[in-house]
Structure 1
Amino acid sequence: MHRHTWVGLLLAVISLVVACRGPVIYPTPTAVRGTLSGHSSPSQAPQEPTVVNTPSVAVSGAETFVYGFNVAWRGDEDGAAFNQRTADMVRLAGFRWIRFQVRWEALEPRPGEWDFRPLDRVLPIYEAAGLSVLASVVAAPAWARDPEGGIVKDPATFREAMYRLASRYRGRIHAWEIWNEQNLAHELHGPVRVEPYCALLRAGYEGVKAGDPDALVVFGGLTPTGVNDPNIAMDDVAYLEAFYAFEGGACTRYFDVLGAHANATLNPPDTLWPENPGPGPGWRDHPSFYFRRVEQLRAVMERHGDTRPIWITEFGWTTANPAPGYEYGQYLSEEQQAEYLVRAFEIARTRWPWVTGMFVWNLNFSTIVDPEDEKGPWSVLNADWSPRPAYRALQAMPKEP
């Protein structure tokens, strides 16, 4: 979960690709969330909203709500102890789901040449711990990218990739999130447009369902932002409205759950601009700075007659953070981080019946990244794996099925 102010926005976008060290597989860096002057309001619904197919969505066993963590994982041959410790900490917190990113470019660096060893090493550990998995698939290989600014040159290559993954890990990876924060130019290798993601989502959905009909397909969570410059980013509410309107809603049938990202900078989870703004200083004058931004995404769905659920696949609060663009972390104590995370779950469980899953950003990146890396202070564990107050609070939090 990343949140930059406009001061660092352009530089962060330019330098967004972060290399993974050694064999460790990290999530793709979430991009910047900035706000330009002159915010645009969410788009208005079309005169005749498209009513989409709304199938029922079930999670595993008797679960009706997914409690999850975003986790760092290791796919190298020496990573078993790290992955086991991760699984143990998830279960000790009373959570039963994890989300991690799968880099397509690492698994299929050349057409048809697959290296499944990283996933083959980590999944048995999660299975033995009784954990369910949401895999976020990102990062097209160089050979598959569209040099003209799309995501992939030929969506059929992604369809085949998702078929290979879903069929190989049928019943072991339970949900697949198709891409990450596709309202960022960085993720599209060109200006932000809905069309490339529509084609990618359809291909991914068809591939997953052919390989594992029981697996859920999750719409990739959008980055919360008020920026509307196609060379940088597109407002997440405006993007979702454009997605539903595109070609009369042609692409809206290709997911089971809408993924959403919710970031609140330093704002308590009950607040929202403009009716109940946060305390400041700063980071308070646009809805994208608030956890309740998710309500505006839901409003888009409802305008189009869509009753499918939302999973908040990334949300969190950072404490003091050394990385540029995260200065708001200095205003949050570890105790506030704990309080806000628990309150966010309470809001979703008591006010938002349409949210059926939430994944905290994050569990354990502090144990594997450099001290100056922005992902560490979002973690609910310290670098030595000891619990922060947030972990203890989430562990004690009641978890209704």
Structure 2
Amino acid sequence: MVAAGASTLFSQSSNVVALPFVHTAAINPSNTTVGFADSDLYGMSRADIDRTLDEMQAMGVNNVRVLIPWAGIELVDDFYYWNTIDYVVDAADARGMGILGVVNSTPAWATEPGAPAVAGPPASPEEYAEFVGAVADRYEGRIGAYEVWNEPNAYTFWYPAPDPEAYTELLQAAYPAIKAADPDAVVIGGVVGWVTDYGDLAISPARYVDAMYDAGAQGYFDALSYHPYHYTLPFSQGGRYPAISPQDQLELMRDAMVANGDEDKLIWASEYGQPTSQGGELKQAAYLQDFLTTWSSYEYTGPSFVYTTRDRNTGSTDPQDTFGVLRTDWSAKPAAEVIRLWTATHPQTAPDPVTLTATTADVADADDESLSVAPMTATEVPESTVATTTSTPSTATTTVQDAVVEAVEDAVEAAPELAPMAEAVSAATDTTDETDTAASENTVEPTDTPESTDTTESTETQDESDSTDSTDSSDSNDVTGSTSGSTGSSGSTGSSSTGSSGSTSSSSTGSSDSDSSDSAA
């Protein structure tokens, strides 16, 4: 394990190649495709935006979910401030990354009377549709998919109470507006967080999707999305009560889709993560491996997005601060290696590929042995986005994947409930041994990685009351689940035992830019 304060596993000095696979907005719909959900990008300095995207690609990740906050861009009716989101989209697009945009956060002028800005739903679906249509027009061909709102099934993002009928009206207005501006864009509905039914405050994902269909949602989305967070239950483990298990809720969502003739549509996991303040770094790595393995075993699932890239504050006890697979100082947690191994054994390909052979970083836990990665594929690889030095395969018997397996075994010893994951982790890493045959002989000049200019942290204030679901699967099924970490700004519910996650986004206040400040600030 890399010690806190050490240089990141994926810094220039670590023999890393960034992997921009294709210069296109399209996101490969395969269920082995992995991205990062990083709502904090909107609140970062430009230097940190660039470094964050580079760190993603150093892990083999080539897709990113970004926050597009209505309240931060159209703070005043018909006045648009695009500078910040322009930079985020331009930076990802220049690296050939696929972009998923989540459009939420209501400006004060567009909310229902008495509802709070940001968390309150739009008073007029048509006003929201006008905005999201303007976004799709501006970024046509560069943003490949859009999510209509974020976790509307809990009061934290649809205040004061979730309303699937009203959400369906929003979807019915937004879908044609996006398609008119960009017919090739994928429009994703639902965007439901894992919560349990809790009075008027939260509606479970499957029941919410059922209600959407009853309200006429069919035909107004190309896919559904889901955030299957749970701090105390690995994704592969069904619960005693289906309402408690994120996996069971996925299957019930699918049942609703099939019953309504949407069996050909996929369910994306646009957020999944585990905070290290809730059990440690080894638990985070084990849960993530378990999730990726289990999610990809379903024939009806699509891409998944890991929340998130980097901690806000590694030393914090607040779960919202510790979802990153990188620590605040940019050093890598074990979960970063899980992602790198996943992308190495599940190439993140796109149409019309050409071959690119990639080397990988030496890992501190493996005593400087490196893992050779099988040839990846790529098209349009801009020289400016590829940073590497030449790496030679190690002949040592101890490998990176051994280190990951050992870490998971240690976690199982400390927490026996993780035992079902050990076999999946071992199987996943064993496949990597077979690919340990090729390392790149290509040497590409490294690009400069700007030092983090610790400017604006995400400006949101998280009022996160949750740590975990008040239950393990055996406990009462009438409490709200601990969903996200996705933080306010991106908008994840984070609904917890109180159903509260925190406000959506600071973005409504705008982000800080190293070059210019948001007029919305």
- TM-score range (shorter-chain normalised) is 0.7 to 0.9
Q: CA deviation at 1:287?
A: 3.7
Higher relative contact order (CA 8 A, sep 6+): 2
2:220 matched residue in structure 1: 254
Q: CA deviation at 1:99?
A: 0.7
Q: How does 1:56-75 map to 2 (within 5 A)?
A: 60=26, 64-65=30-31, 66-75=33-42
Q: CA deviation at 1:262?
A: 0.4
2:54 matched residue in structure 1: 88
1:317 matched residue in structure 2: 274
2:77 matched residue in structure 1: 111
Give secondary structure in 1 for the equivalent of 2:156: helix
Q: CA deviation at 1:234?
A: 1.6
C-alpha root-mean-square deviation of aligned residues, in Å? Answer: 2.3
The amino acid that maps onto 2:235 is P
2:500 matched residue in structure 1: none
Q: Counterparts of 1:85 and 1:380 in 2: how far apart (Å)?
A: 14
Confirm or deny: 8 A CA contact 1:70 1:98 kept in the other structure: yes
The 1:75–1:239 alpha-carbon spacing in structure 2 relative to 1, beyond 3 Å, is closer
Could you give the per-residue CA deviations for residues 104-150 of structure 1, whole angstroms, max 9, x where no partner exists?
01100111000001111222211122111111111111111122778
Q: Counterparts of 1:312 and 1:369 in 2: how far apart (Å)?
A: 25
Q: CA deviation at 1:389?
A: 0.1
Q: How does 1:290-309 map to 2 (within 5 A)?
A: 290-307=246-263, 308-309=265-266
The amino acid that maps onto 1:309 is L
Q: Counterparts of 2:226 and 2:211 in 1: how far apart (Å)?
A: 16
1:28 matched residue in structure 2: none
Q: Counterparts of 2:282 and 2:247 in 1: how far apart (Å)?
A: 18
Matched, 1:333 2:299: no
Matched, 1:345 2:292: yes
2:196 matched residue in structure 1: 226
Q: TM-score, normalised by structure 1?
A: 0.73
Confirm or deny: 8 A CA contact 1:74 1:118 kept in the other structure: no
Give secondary structure in 2 for the equivalent of 1:375: helix
Structure 2 segments unaligned to the other structure (5+ residues): 1-23, 350-521
The amino acid that maps onto 2:291 is A
Q: CA deviation at 1:236?
A: 2.0
Matched, 1:159 2:129: yes
1:191 matched residue in structure 2: 161
Q: TM-score, normalised by structure 2?
A: 0.57
2:480 matched residue in structure 1: none
Larger radius of gyration between Structure 1 and Structure 2: 2
The amino acid that maps onto 1:88 is D
Could you give the per-residue CA deviations for residues 213-268 of structure 1, whole angstroms, max 9, x where no partner exists?
111111142121222312x112222111111122xxx2221111101110122222
Confirm or deny: 8 A CA contact 1:178 1:219 kept in the other structure: yes
1:392 matched residue in structure 2: 337
Confirm or deny: 8 A CA contact 1:362 1:378 kept in the other structure: yes
Structure 1 segments unaligned to the other structure (5+ residues): 1-57, 275-284, 321-328
Confirm or deny: 8 A CA contact 1:178 1:220 kept in the other structure: yes
Confirm or deny: 8 A CA contact 1:136 1:177 kept in the other structure: yes
Give secondary structure in 2 for the equivalent of 1:177: strand
The amino acid that maps onto 2:170 is L
| Identical counterparts, % of pairs | 27
The 1:311–1:83 alpha-carbon spacing in structure 2 relative to 1, beyond 3 Å, is same
Confirm or deny: 8 A CA contact 1:138 1:179 kept in the other structure: yes
Q: Counterparts of 2:315 and 2:222 in 1: how far apart (Å)?
A: 36
Give secondary structure in 2 for the equivalent of 1:121: helix
Q: CA deviation at 1:343?
A: 2.3
The amino acid that maps onto 1:359 is F
The amino acid that maps onto 1:181 is E
1:42 matched residue in structure 2: none
